Amino acid sequence: MKIGGFVKTTLSDWDGKVSCMIFLSGCNFSCPYCHNPDIARGACEGEDERKIMEYIEENSDFLEGVVISGGEPTLDRDLYRLLKEIKKAGLRIKMDTNGSSPEVLDDVIGARLVDYVAMDVKAPLSPDRYMTATGGYCDVKAIGKSIRTIMDSGTEYEFRTTVYPGVLSHDDVTDIARSLRGAERFCIQQFRPKVTLDPEAGKVKPYSVKELRAMHDSAKPYVKRVSVRGL
Ligand code: SF4
């Protein structure tokens, strides 16, 4: 298992729940605005899984959950084992995903190994738009399948889109919301230019609060709950 990072306590990654966070290293996307470039490239690993599990077991009364992020967690062959061990410790699990592995999502949701799924929807669902937003990934059928799997699962979830102005316009965000019609929750996330996978992306000015609010209003007719994160 390639664990690229571990945060003992966070309140900001699962609706204010006291959680710890495990970052699995490696990703099959290369989003230019990615703010975890070393983990996405798989350049980080070596966190001690045994010590992390000891921490989780020792703090299972204090922690409300464990967030599994990346990179892309569904690529790790040892994901099931990790999820099972955390469940054995009695904790709820949120998993972040880019939605490229609908079969893995179906399996872990079906086995009740995750309690909340946060899936990125990177662009309107057309191969060329997806390719631009992810630096090369264009299997939008898999993305569509993941969206349906999650929406039909009965598990709590959110879809989320980082609005990087270098790739996404206001109308694109509306298109994405339209493709999520009837979903419970859609988060529009502010782009953070501090550290980016593509250094050029770090020079792009984020959208203003006013523009993000306008995107929120345009998305509202399609999704039950829309929020803006990272203002
Ligand atoms: S932002 Fe893109 S490249 Fe970075 S971890 Fe997420 S899916 Fe991978």
When pLDDT is cut at 50, 70 and 90, the band that residue 1 belongs to is confident
pLDDT at 43 (0 to 100): 82
pLDDT at 34 (0 to 100): 96
pLDDT tens digits, one per residue of 177-201: 999 999 999 999 999 998 999 999 9
pLDDT at 9 (0 to 100): 96
Q: How is residue 185 written in tokens?
A: 């929750």
- Is residue 5 within 6 Å of ligand 1 at its C-beta? no
Measured in Å, residue 196 CA sits from the centre of ligand 1 at 10
pLDDT tens digits, one per residue of 66-85: 999 999 999 999 999 999 99
pLDDT tens digits, one per residue of 21-67: 999 999 999 999 999 999 999 887 777 899 999 999 999 999 999 99
d(CA 210, CA 206): 11
Nearest to 119 by CA among 161, 82, 164: 161
- Is residue 29 within 6 Å of ligand 1 at its C-beta? yes
Between β-strands 92-97 and 65-69, what pairing exists: parallel, antiparallel or unpaired? parallel
- Is residue 70 within 6 Å of ligand 1 at its C-beta? yes
User: Angle 12-58-112 (CA atoms, 0-180°, nearest 5)?
Assistant: 65
Give the atom of ligand 1 at the shortest distance from the alpha carbon of 98: 7
SS (H, E, C) 143-196: HHHHHHHHHCCCCEEEEEEEECCCCCCHHHHHHHHHHCCCCCEEEEEECCCCCC
pLDDT at 194 (0 to 100): 87
Mean per-residue pLDDT for 12-20? Answer: 94
DSSP-derived letter for residue 41 is T
Percent of the chain with pLDDT over 90: 93
Q: What domains are there in the chain, each with its CATH number?
A: 3-229 (3.20.20.70)
CA distances in angstroms from 142 to 66, 101, 103, 147, 156, listed in the order given: 26, 7, 9, 9, 20
Measured in Å, residue 223 CA sits from the centre of ligand 1 at 24
pLDDT at 90 (0 to 100): 96
- Is residue 201 within 6 Å of ligand 1 at its C-beta? no
- Is residue 72 within 6 Å of ligand 1 at its C-beta? yes
| pTM (whole model) above 0.85 | yes
Average pLDDT, rounded, for the chain? 96
- Is residue 26 within 6 Å of ligand 1 at its C-beta? no
Q: How is residue 74 written in tokens?
A: 């569904």
When pLDDT is cut at 50, 70 and 90, the band that residue 206 belongs to is very high
Decide: 132 and 167 in contact? Cβ < 8 Å.
yes
Give the atom of ligand 1 at the shortest distance from the alpha carbon of 39: 5
Can the peptide bond before residue 90 be classed as cis, meaning omega within 30 degrees of 0?
no
CA 104, 55, 5, 20 torsion-angle sign: positive
Decide: 29 and 119 in contact? Cβ < 8 Å.
no
